[in-house]
């Protein structure tokens, strides 16, 4: 329905019917959307202001006190790392613990809105907020098993926001390294795959130089991800451990596999197929050669449509593995038959 048509329909209603319609429409709008857009204040002041919601939002925006925001974010992260939002304690009240998601949502929104000289630091703090939520996917930091849904974002969507903020201050070795590490060291929730996060990063690699820089950082990650001194984070909090000591979980194989996969995906984006495949074979840590082959061909297969050269590359990789004694599963055998017929 167009605006003029809406006006025509509303003009036929009396005041009581119009009020009832407005209330029903208001109830259909999620609370988060109402809060984010300042709808309540707009409704209260509309008879006086008599303006649009968009204009009211821009007029009512208050300047951000970044010093206070920085302190609040740091305190929030410190308390989260100490478990104060998950377990009973005297530092964070029970009421504040139950409302952690609203606090996190507000802090994220404020960091994204920060502009000017504070943008660089805001981007780093936003990355720390991202890391805290990712950490919650494997360890209880907040009282939830779906941290990203709790703060109103799908995990890939929030990563897109974080990377946009990070690269808005410039594409440097520091920002690219942090972006790659954020993707490769992030644990995922139940609705997300590691490849989903990798795809978000690749979308942000707008130029050939950015893609090449990301490849460099993948190589750096593969060599240094177990070294705490090499981490590009603002803090040592919320890092997955790679030690087998005590009750720690060993994530080193998963990190190496994800790094190899990201390197391959970026190489495919550069059309440097052979380079990416060779790196994948050398760095993808898997005991079974058949599983490694399956994972390699699965990534390549995602990009085959409309690219005969890549389809031919898929067949070459498959045939070479068979010659080396690998027995592919039936799914790969069927794919080989289909791709072979299409390329004839």
Could you tell me the sign of the dihedral formed by the alpha carbons of 4, 9, 14, 16, in that order?
Answer: negative
Torsion angles phi and psi, residue 147, rounded to 5? -65, -35
| Domains contained in the chain, number | 3
- Taking only the tens place, the pLDDT of each residue in 311-343 is 999 999 999 999 999 999 999 999 999 887 766
The DSSP H or E segment spanning 302 is helix 289-302
The DSSP H or E segment spanning 177 is helix 173-184
Question: Based on the domain organization, do 226 and 207 belong to the same domain?
Answer: yes
**Containing domain of residue 18, as a range?**
3-60
The full DSSP string for 97-165 is HHTHHHHHHHHHHHHHH--GGGHHHHHHHHHHHHHHHHHTTTS-SSS-S-HHHHTT--HHHHHHHHHHH
Question: Based on the domain organization, do 132 and 257 belong to the same domain?
Answer: yes
Question: Based on the domain organization, do 73 and 55 belong to the same domain?
Answer: no
3-state secondary structure of 75: helix
Question: Based on the domain organization, do 39 and 97 belong to the same domain?
Answer: no
Closest CA to 264 of 334, 175, 330, 194: 194
**Residue 166: C-alpha distances to residues 13, 104, 201 (Å):** 50, 19, 11
Please list the pLDDT of the chain residue by residue as tens digits (344 residues). Answer: 666 777 778 788 888 888 887 888 777 777 656 655 556 655 755 554 455 555 545 444 567 899 999 999 999 999 999 999 999 999 999 999 999 999 999 999 999 999 999 999 999 999 999 999 999 998 889 999 999 999 999 999 999 999 999 999 889 999 999 999 999 999 999 999 999 999 999 999 999 999 999 999 999 999 999 888 899 998 989 988 776 555 556 788 889 999 999 999 999 999 999 999 999 999 998 889 999 999 999 999 999 988 899 999 999 999 999 999 999 999 999 999 988 776 65
Question: Based on the domain organization, do 224 and 337 belong to the same domain?
Answer: no
The residue out of 244, 259, 285 marking a domain boundary is 285
Question: Based on the domain organization, do 196 and 303 belong to the same domain?
Answer: no
């Amino acid at each position: 329905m167009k605006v003029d048509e809406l006006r025509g329909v509303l003009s036929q209603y009396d005041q009581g019917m119009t009020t009832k319609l407005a209330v029903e429409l208001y109830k259909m709008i999620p609370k988060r959307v109402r809060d984010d857009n300042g709808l309540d204040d707009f409704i209260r002041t509309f008879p006086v202001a008599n303006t649009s919601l968009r204009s009211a939002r821009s007029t009512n925006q208050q300047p951000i006190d970044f010093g206070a925001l920085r302190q609040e974010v740091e305190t929030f992260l410190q308390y989260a790392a100490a478990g104060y939002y998950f377990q009973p304690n005297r530092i964070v009240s029970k009421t504040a613990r139950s409302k952690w998601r609203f606090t996190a949502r507000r802090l994220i929104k404020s960091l994204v809105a920060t502009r000017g000289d504070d943008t660089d630091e805001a981007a780093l703090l936003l990355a720390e907020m991202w890391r805290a939520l990712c950490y919650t996917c494997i360890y209880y930091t907040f009282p939830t098993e779906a941290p990203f849904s709790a703060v109103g974002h799908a995990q890939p969507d929030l990563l897109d926001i974080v990377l946009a903020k990070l690269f808005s201050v410039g594409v440097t070795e520091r920002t690219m390294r942090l972006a790659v590490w954020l993707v490769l060291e992030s644990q995922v929730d139940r609705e997300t795959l590691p490849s989903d996060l990798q795809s978000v990063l690749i979308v942000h690699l707008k130029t050939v130089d950015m893609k090449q820089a990301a490849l460099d950082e993948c190589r750096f990650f593969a060599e240094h991800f177990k070294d705490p001194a090499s981490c590009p984070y603002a803090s040592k909090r919320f890092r997955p451990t790679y030690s087998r000591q005590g009750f720690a979980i060993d994530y080193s194989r998963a990190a190496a596999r994800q790094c190899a996969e990201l390197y391959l995906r970026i190489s495919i984006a550069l059309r440097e197929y052979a380079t990416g495949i060779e790196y994948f074979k050398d760095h993808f840590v898997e005991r079974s050669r058949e599983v490694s082959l399956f994972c390699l061909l699965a990534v390549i297969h995602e990009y085959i449509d409309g690219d005969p050269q890549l389809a031919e590359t898929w067949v070459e990789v498959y045939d070479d593995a068979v010659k080396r004694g690998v027995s592919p599963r039936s799914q790969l055998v069927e794919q080989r038959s289909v791709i072979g017929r299409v390329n004839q």
